[in-house]
Amino acid sequence: MSKLSSTIAKAPLIGPVALVAYRTRMALGYFFRPFSDVFKWLVKSKETANFTYDLEELNQRYLASMIAGIFNLQFNKVMDLFREIEEDVEFKEHIAAATAKSDWAFIADKEVRLGRRIGWYAIARAIKPRIVIESGVDKGLGSCVLAAALKRNTQEGHAGHYYGLDINPKAGYLLSGDYAPYGSMLYGDAVESIRDFDGVVDLYINDSDHSAEYEALEYKAIVNKLSEDAIVLGDNAHASDKLLEFSLTEGRHFVFFQEKPREHWYPGAGIGISFKR
């Protein structure tokens, strides 16, 4: 029995009003910090969607442990890959400069906060994909993270190319400068772009229309274009079971990682990972 439960059990019976007050204080304690983080966000951030944040330290370590287990890597190696992108000065300076001069500068933060995308980076660095496709690009933060991974892979003798799919012809402005040679944008409907794509995909990331129906259509379109050991990441797996269903149907394994943002009111999304052994 916990100390609190023991205290309550030994205390005289309290009336219903006092009990409600006690239970209310207990419950609201879990909401106080997110509520205070709203005010910090209002002052420090300009974002209106696709919120960016860092992960809590323990949450980041859990992500590293999960990736290490799936891809047969050492835990410290995955943590090194996290630090590799988080401490990449050139990458950070590019994001800040490209954001400042973009048409979206009034709703985008220059600070680089990658959240779950450090997981995308570590996976791309670990599996050395030749072709990466991400559906749903928005500003292109994920695009640039993946291009940065491909850039380092290429320097190590493992060339790869990123393709971003987005219906918005202005999406992906961050995929520029030194990162442009490692990626291309394909504008139009994501499902149609997948059907028209001629290539074998090693890493596929679903992050476009977040309706479950459309997500399922993407997996149906991509399945026959995946390489034997391809990895599929679902950015909507915190709200949809479509990647799980896809994995079960195709005889693949599935795991899910839930984000815990640091000092941000948003409860976090996550990474669904579909893979074969």
The Cα diameter of the chain in Å comes to 73
Q: Would you say residue 85 lies in a domain?
A: yes
Q: What is the CATH number of the domain that holds 222?
A: 3.40.50.150
Residues of the chain scoring pLDDT < 70: 1-14, 31-33
- Res 166: pLDDT: 96
- Res 42: pLDDT: 84
C-alpha–C-alpha distance, residues 172 and 73, integer Å: 31
Residue 45 Cα distances to 111, 161, 224, angstroms = 9, 32, 41
Q: Would you say residue 48 lies in a domain?
A: no
Q: Would you say residue 41 lies in a domain?
A: no
3-class DSSP string for the chain = CCHHHHHHHHCCCCCHHHHHHHHHHHHHCCCHHHHHHHHHHHHHCCCCCCCCCCECHHHHHHHHHHHHHHHCCCHHHHHHHHHHHHCCHHHHHHHHHHHHCCCCHHHCCCCCCCCCHHHHHHHHHHHCCCEEEEECCCCCHHHHHHHHHHHHHHHCCCCCEEEEEECCCCCCCCCCHHHHHHEEEEECCHHHHHHHCCCCEEEEEECCCCCHHHHHHHHHHHHHHEEEEEEEEECCCCCCCHHHHHHHHCCCEEEEEECCECCCCCCCCEEEEEECC
- Res 5: pLDDT: 52
- Res 14: pLDDT: 65
- Res 11: pLDDT: 47
Pair 149, 18 in one domain? no
Q: Would you say residue 44 lies in a domain?
A: no
Domain that residue 13 falls in? 3-30
Pair 83, 207 in one domain? yes
Q: Would you say residue 213 lies in a domain?
A: yes
- Res 10: pLDDT: 47
Q: Which residue has the tokens 């023991």?
A: 6
Q: Would you say residue 186 lies in a domain?
A: yes
Pair 16, 112 in one domain? no
- Res 39: pLDDT: 79
Pair 23, 121 in one domain? no
pLDDT tens digits, 240-255: 999 999 999 999 999 9
Pair 161, 197 in one domain? yes
Pair 143, 267 in one domain? yes
Domain count along the chain: 2
pLDDT tens digits, 4-23: 555 445 444 567 778 888 88
Residues in the chain: 277
Pair 85, 166 in one domain? yes
Q: Would you say residue 38 lies in a domain?
A: no
Q: Would you say residue 236 lies in a domain?
A: yes
